[in-house]
Amino acid sequence: MQQVQELPYDLRPVNQDLRHIDGDYGWPLVGRSLELLRDPFGLFRRYHDRFGPVSRISMTGFNTVILNHPDYAEIVLKDSENNFSAKKGWEPHMAAFFEGGLVMRDFGEHRVHRRIVQNSFKRANLIQYNEKVREICERTVTRWGEKGEIYFYDEIKRLLLDIAFGVFCWVDERDKDVDAINKAFSDMMEGSIGMIRLEIPGTIYHRGLKGRRMLKEYFLRQIEKKRASDDQDAFAGFAKATQEDGSYYSDEDIANHMVFLMLAAHDTTTSSATMAAYYLAHLPEVQAELRAEIERTPRPLEYDTIFGGMPTMLGVFYETLRLHPPVPMLLRRSIRECEIGGVRIPADTMVCVPIMAIHRLPDFWNDPETFDLHRYDEGVDDPNDHPYRWIPFGAGPHKCIGLLFARMLFAHLYTELFSRYELKFARPNYFPTKLQHFPFAKPVDRLPVKLVPRAR
């Protein structure tokens, strides 16, 4: 045991002995993984009611401690003592696709590399992206209207593909490699969320890894050209970023960060936009309220208008992410033994912050199952407020850098959509429908909807 403890934390085996913690591992081998996929809200609620906010469970292949309380989320995510490794939390599940990305780096190394990405999401950069995002959303909604009926999830995936290449790396549609790049990106997206994670030829996981390698090679070939260009996209920002000694970051690091950025932003934003449409199509009164705000808002949307003058849009955005956070739970692994909520957490233990469950705790949310965009209105006095009760983008050192960009995209998309159309379900008696919760929330049938032109 002493020899194990002397190893660096990222080389030590995971601790699986949590017998001293209240809880239930579930079935042999699979634990509660199948229940997690089928009904995660019910599973976390039962564990909270039966065992309290700290409990043990077996899921996703590991004996894990559930920390289902905003106070404990704050301890883990703020991580003031550098005791919770994001790298070791996500490595078993995402290492193949997130290699070299921010989520696979800890502590000092993470801070250094976060600067590469942060520089491309400062206010000046976001203002530059704003017009490009508006143009892409306007073009996309026009295309949707011509179809009349669409699968919303599929169309949002295509929109995010256009955003990825039109905003993050400015790929010229005339580029002879553009079709191959698009296919590689799409394959990578599909493979990254494949449930069978074995690299067997013919599987989506195998195609996904092949697509990732191709995309990385593409970025590696473009780095010198980006450094010499006047481009203002995120890729150019990564390529031109310098370290403290004035030298560039390695080409390998830049390519890995680009792959991570595009992968991490794509499916999370696709999920959020789709789930917003799911609720808005069900709630015509919310559509009407949002449309009224859009009509009195100057167009085209300016950056400062989005972030200072659209409270209804913000409420829809916040409430969608509360009910269906883009990343349903955050995984970490302890480095040293610690205590949380009076419970001993051994070193090298997997811990889970179930964001999706914290967002619906009755002690912190009034009527938590109801879609209520006015929870966030200025001046609302909520005695249950807690800084870590709403954490869809995480918090602390690993908080998602793309928060503001996601809000910008959301505002442009729904401004374009509701200024021209009403959104309705394509099938009668559709709500509620069966939802997939992992790895990202979406209706299992991809949300068929109709765009009905507004009466003028």
The mean per-residue pLDDT over the stretch 270-281 comes to: 97
pLDDT at 173 over 60: no
Helices (H) and strands (E) in the chain, counts: 17, 12
SS3 state at 271: helix
> Which residue did the predictor score with more confidence, 73 or 4?
73
CB contact set of 413 (below 8 Å; sequence gap of 6+): 137, 140, 141, 159, 273
Handedness of CA 289, 292, 298, 301 (dihedral sign): positive
Q: Where are the domains of the chain?
A: 2-453
The mean per-residue pLDDT over the stretch 30-50 comes to: 96
The reported pLDDT for the residue numbered 221 is 93
DSSP one-letter code for 165: I
The reported pLDDT for the residue numbered 175 is 63
The identity of residue 136, as a single letter, is I
Q: Sorting pLDDT into bands at 50, 70 and 90, what band is 107?
A: very high
> Using CA atoms, how far apart are residues 412 and 389, in angstroms rounded to an integer?
27
- Listed ranges 2-11, 205-214, 293-302; the one with the highest mean pLDDT: 293-302
SS3 state at 369: coil
Check: CB of residue 409 under 8 Å from CB of residue 137: yes
Q: What does pTM read for this prediction?
A: 0.94
Please confirm whether the linkage preceding 439 is cis (ω < 30° from 0).
Answer: yes
Task: Determine the angle formed by the axes of helices 311-323 and 403-418, rounding to 10 degrees.
Answer: 110
The identity of residue 411, as a single letter, is A
Percentage of the chain beyond pLDDT 90 is 79
Q: Pick from 357, 339, 259: which is nearest to 40 by CA?
A: 357
**Maximal C-alpha separation, the chain:** 76
Check: CB of residue 442 under 8 Å from CB of residue 328: no
Please name every residue paired with 58 in a beta bridge, in sequence order, or none if there are none.
Answer: 63
The reported pLDDT for the residue numbered 285 is 97
The mean per-residue pLDDT over the stretch 427-447 comes to: 95
Task: Count Cα atoms within 13 angstroms, Cβ side, for 45.
Answer: 11
Check: CB of residue 303 under 8 Å from CB of residue 126: yes
The mean per-residue pLDDT over the stretch 249-278 comes to: 93
Lookup result for tokens 């990578």: 188
CATH 3.40.50.2300 fits 2-453, yes or no: no
pLDDT at 2 over 60: no
> Which residue did the predictor score with more confidence, 3 or 264?
264
Check: CB of residue 185 under 8 Å from CB of residue 192: no
The reported pLDDT for the residue numbered 360 is 98
The reported pLDDT for the residue numbered 359 is 98
The reported pLDDT for the residue numbered 264 is 82
SS3 state at 405: helix
Q: Pick from 55, 39, 72, 46: which is nearest to 389 by CA?
A: 72
The mean per-residue pLDDT over the stretch 27-48 comes to: 95
Other beta carbons less than 10 A from residue 47's beta carbon: 23
The reported pLDDT for the residue numbered 288 is 96
Q: Which of 147-156, 189-198, 234-243 has the lowest mean pLDDT?
A: 189-198
The reported pLDDT for the residue numbered 182 is 78
The mean per-residue pLDDT over the stretch 420-448 comes to: 96
Q: Sorting pLDDT into bands at 50, 70 and 90, what band is 195?
A: low
SS3 state at 338: strand
Kindly report the CA angle at 39 between 35 and 42, in degrees rounded to 5? 100
Both tokens of residue 296? 């009195």
> Using CA atoms, how far apart are residues 250 and 253, in angstroms rounded to an integer?
5
> Using CA atoms, how far apart are residues 294 and 316, in angstroms rounded to an integer?
13
CB contact set of 261 (below 8 Å; sequence gap of 6+): 101, 117, 168, 234
